[in-house]
Chains A and B, each alone.
Chain A
């Protein structure tokens, strides 16, 4: 994180790379598990929903209940898929953004702050989709979404967005100064 012009990309801290690669590995395992255990997961979610009829508004009429359960199962599956996609993507975003930060942000404390925000935010955000999926059978689609939103998506997603715009601003300032 020196003030001299960079001659090549600098590596972010090893712990950051480990987190990013572990996140990508989790995403891949998640994607594979989603396919491999699709029926087991669906049966589990269905049985939990049936054991909590009041939460899901089940009325005991097969036609009505089946459509409610189907909708919840679609969202349950969507949560798992979104975890898979976002974890793959955020792993790469962490590697790219932290590499840019340690190479091009001249101030070491600033670069460190951006690295921490991008890494924590990027690694935490996809977990929100897993949490949402896990909460749907117990608390319903909307209650699960609200919990995941306030516990994970807003704080971790917010940290990533702040860090990315901060980094973009610093790079833009460098470009303007150079011009």
Chain B
């Protein structure tokens, strides 16, 4: 619910404060000419600033859509874990992975902010390597783990799971 609420608020902020965000992003690019490789030529620098602004807006847009989606995935996956995995410890491990995966959309906020502060390529790489990949992998691992444990659990309980009871 927290991610869904964040996602909706992010969408509203993105739509209402677009001009302010655009101005802020351009100001940050202008404030770090070396980081962004500005050359002092207005035409070239404008193009670089536009690419950074586009990346920041894309980060916010991805945050909005992924937060809405991951909230629903978390709810569904959490319910399936509670219903289909009969063992306490594996269940707790899956919950931990799902919670980590639920934070995945925050990676897109990092993506936008890092592109602004560390430069386009370095920022995007930083967000992908340290935030998006680990958190996304956590959700994938949780879903694969859920599938495996649900199948094993179904065999060991003879099909008597929370869903079929």
Chain A contact residues, CB within 8 Å of chain B: 8-9, 89, 92-93, 96-97, 100, 153, 157-158, 160-161, 164-165, 167-168, 171-172
Q: How far is the CA of A171 from the CA of B69 in the complex (A)?
A: 19
A157 contacts B12, C-beta separation under 8 Å: yes
Of B2, B9, B72, the contact of A93 (CB 8 Å cutoff): B72
Determine if B148 is an interface residue (Cβ-Cβ < 8 Å): no
Determine if B100 is an interface residue (Cβ-Cβ < 8 Å): no
Of A9, A160, A164, A171, the contact of B79 (CB 8 Å cutoff): A9
Q: How far is the CA of A55 from the CA of B1 in the complex (A)?
A: 43
Report if A161-B9 is in contact (Cβ < 8 Å); known contacts: A92-B72, A93-B72, A100-B75.
yes
In the complex, which residue of chain B has the Cβ closest to the Cβ of A101?
Answer: B1
Q: How far is the CA of A165 from the CA of B6 in the complex (A)?
A: 8
Residues of B1-34 contacting chain A, CB below 8 A: 1-2, 4-5, 8-9, 11-12, 15
A171: B residues at CB distance < 8 A: 1-2
A165 contacts B68, C-beta separation under 8 Å: no
A164 contacts B75, C-beta separation under 8 Å: no
A89: B residues at CB distance < 8 A: 68-69
Q: Give me 18 A-to-B residue pairs in the complex whose CB atoms sit less than 8 angstroms apart, sorted by A's number.
A: A89-B68, A89-B69, A92-B72, A93-B4, A93-B68, A93-B71, A96-B71, A96-B72, A96-B75, A97-B1, A100-B75, A153-B15, A161-B5, A161-B12, A165-B5, A171-B1, A171-B2, A172-B2
